[in-house]
Each structure stands twice: as structure tokens, then as C-alpha cells.
Amino acid sequence: MRYQRITARGEPINLGYKNEDDATEIAFDIPDDWQDGIVTLYVLRMGDSDSYVPSGFRVEDGVAYWLVSSVDTAVEGRGLATYCSVVDGKVMKSRSFTTIVKASSVDLNRDVPEPQKSVLEASLDMASTFAARAEQSANKAQETADTMAQDAESVLADAQGYVQDAESFAGQAEQSAERAASTVYEWFTLSVNEQTGQLVVTERNRS
């Protein structure tokens, strides 16, 4: 909705397009010295001889509002809007503004033809279908991501198990090597030939 706030005389008020309904709201600030009267709005459309009070006019909290209807925009061109303070049936204060209703490229009062309705409905159906497909794709992507995360956790758990097994095997191998070395030192004597520098293994007497 278009919204205009009017504080004093100035530029013409743009009411919108011909036959437009409830698309524009005008707000008029009410001066303090108007508070004793009844604030009323009178509208004169182009070509009319009599003014009228629009149905969309109301006053709330010191501000006058005009919700422009299709009646107010029924005639294209320039008109006049006068809001005033009425006391005992007499206009005591008033302000007037030029109004403008622009030409519309379409007849807003005309029903949409059936072929156009079919195209519109088909477009809406297509949009709904695309939205549903997008949601399905998003759900599948989330499921795939969840599955990959679970697989990654499983692979990590297996890898940790393999590491533990390798550490266990390494410990056993180390123990076996220590035992082998102990056996060597128990039954054999190791020495170095000073002339050749080679390691010499001599079996001990086991008796």
C-alpha cells in the first residue's frame, strides 16, 4: 500500500490509478486549533458538480486518514480534496489540495478472461511444483549428508581400532625381541674380534 502524509499545502496528492481500490492511504495532520471542531474531508472529482465525504475517511489520535477507494479513483484527472474543521454546522478552518488520478494501462474492474486465468493457474501450479521439488532435493541432500557423516564416523572408529591393534602387535613384537635378546645373552657370549671388527657369538657351556 502507498502511504502519504500531508502536513501543509504543497504538491498535489497522487491518489493512484483509475479504478484502483484501497491501494493508497493519505494522512492529514490536524492543527491544534482545530480540535474543537469535527474534522471532515470533502472530495470533488474532475467533472463532478457536487463533493462527497469518502467512505474511507476516519480520524484517530489527532490524525485524519483517507483510505482511497475505487469510488475516489473512478474519474481520471485532477480533482480537489478539502479537509476542514466544522463547528455547529459551519466550516471554521479548512485546507484544500489538488488530487490526481492517473490513467491505468488495464481496466481494473474487468474480470480476467478464462484463457488468462488458465495461464495464471498453470504458472501458480508450476511454481508450487518447483517449490516442492526444491524441498525434496533439500531433504535428500540432508539425508545424504547425514549418511556420509555416519559413514565417516564408522571409518574413524575402524581406523582407531586398527591403530589399537597395531599398537598391541608392536608391544608383543617388542616383548618377543626382548625375550630373544635375553635368550641370546643367557646362552651365548657376544664379543668383537679386535683384528677384524666382526661380532663373534660364542655358545656358553650349558652344563
Residues 6 or more apart whose CB falls under 8 angstroms from that of 43 comprise 51, 52, 53, 54, 72, 79, 80, 81, 99
Place of cell 481496466: 107
Model pLDDT for residues 38-87, shown as the tens digit of each residue: 999 999 999 999 999 999 999 998 899 999 999 999 999 999 999 898 88
Model pLDDT for residues 155-166, shown as the tens digit of each residue: 677 767 766 776
The mean of the pLDDT values for the chain is: 77
- Please say if the pLDDT value at position 102 is more than 60: yes
Burial of 93-126, coded b for 16+ CB within 10 Å and e otherwise, reads bebebebebeeeeeeeeeeeeeeeeeeeeeeeee
- CA dist., res. 97 & res. 78, Å (int): 10
Yes or no: say if 76 and 46 are a contact pair by the CB < 8 Å rule: yes
Residues 30-36, mean pLDDT to the nearest whole number: 83
Question: Which one has a higher pLDDT value, 14 or 107?
Answer: 14
Stated pTM of the model? 0.50
Region label for 120, one of left (φ > 0), alpha (ψ between -120 and 50) or beta (otherwise): alpha
Predicted confidence at residue 160, as pLDDT, reads: 76
Yes or no: say if 42 and 51 are a contact pair by the CB < 8 Å rule: yes
Beta bridge partners of 189: 202
Residue 32: pLDDT band by 50, 70, 90 thresholds? confident
The CA radius of gyration of the chain, in Å to the nearest whole number, is 47
Model pLDDT for residues 59-73, shown as the tens digit of each residue: 998 899 999 999 999
Model pLDDT for residues 176-197, shown as the tens digit of each residue: 656 655 555 555 666 667 677 6
